[in-house]
Amino acid sequence: MAVYAVSDLHGQYDLFKKGLEKIAFSDNDELYFIGDAIDRGPDGIRILMELKNNKNMHLILGNHEFMMLNAVDPNGKKKCNGPDAELWLYYNGGSKTFEQYGKLDIKARRSLLLWLQRCYVIKTIEVNGEKFCLTHSYYREDLEGKMYHEMEYDDVWDIVWRSMYREDYETRGSDVYKDYDHTFITGHVPVFRVLSRLGYTCDRLKIFQKGNFIDIDGGCAAGSVPRVHNGALFYRLDDKKVFPIEFSEIGLS
Ligand SMILES: [Mn+2]
């Protein structure tokens, strides 16, 4: 039995399946998806449905699921007129997700929204005596272990949008991790972008680590781009082994 994490696949269902195959994921294993399963890529709703339908798969919310929850009709109607609708549909690749969401029947849409509302935003788990804090991006001690529906909009916003590696003023954060003894597993900012910000080039698909902060965002938001080392990064918490899956492995590159 092993515990895995993956994040930011942004609708790349084929990479998701390839990754599960590569790690030989079984009923005895656990998978934590650390946010941004949807948007930009082709099959986000399909990834969400698979996470929802498997007892040993768990979603920690990302800013894209957060936008979706605040964009679509809360009762499952095929409408998108919530406060984040424009931000989601036109600026963050949500239109593809909304189209697929609309193909579900109203019962399935309601059930999906209920499930999303019961997902955690920050969750700490213990593997081999080591504490791993799973969060899409930021951390606040007072918000640990809360489900989405138990939190205020602004508090969720802080966790899923803010980062010490974002460049825009609005979402820029500081190193909130260094005062804790957990190992933080996060996504949100693609590793190649973090590296370029720090003045390094990204020579292959890999995780980024600084002290107790780990970023496993393989950069699927960009889709398959020639000469960019992006794809999925499955991370096994038990022994810290990384399983990279490049777009070329599903016939794209
Ligand atoms: Mn994100």
- Per-residue pLDDT 10s for the chain (253 aa) are 999 999 999 999 999 999 999 999 999 999 999 999 999 999 999 999 999 999 999 999 999 999 999 999 999 999 999 999 999 999 999 999 999 999 999 999 999 999 999 999 999 999 999 999 999 999 999 999 999 999 999 999 999 999 999 888 899 999 999 999 999 999 999 999 999 999 998 899 999 999 999 999 999 998 888 878 899 999 999 999 999 999 988 887 6
Amino acid of residue 154: D
**What stretch of H or E contains 135?**
strand 130-135
Handedness of CA 187, 171, 68, 249 (dihedral sign): negative
Q: In whole angstroms, give the CA distance from residue 164 to residue 174.
A: 5
Q: In whole angstroms, give the CA distance from residue 219 to residue 191.
A: 7
In 3D space, the residue among 223, 204, 229 whose CA is nearest the CA of residue 14 turns out to be: 223
CA of 160 to the centre of ligand 1 (A): 7
CA of 67 to the centre of ligand 1 (A): 10
pLDDT at 224: 87
In 3D space, the residue among 168, 148, 149, 175 whose CA is nearest the CA of residue 160 turns out to be: 148
208-210 and 122-127 beta bridge pairing = unpaired
CA of 63 to the centre of ligand 1 (A): 5
pLDDT at 253: 61
Domain layout of the chain by residue ranges:
3-250
CA of 253 to the centre of ligand 1 (A): 23
pLDDT at 78: 97
CA of 148 to the centre of ligand 1 (A): 16
Class of the 3-250 domain? alpha beta
* Residue 64: half-sphere exposure toward Cβ, Cα within 13 Å: 32
CA of 206 to the centre of ligand 1 (A): 18
CA of 211 to the centre of ligand 1 (A): 21
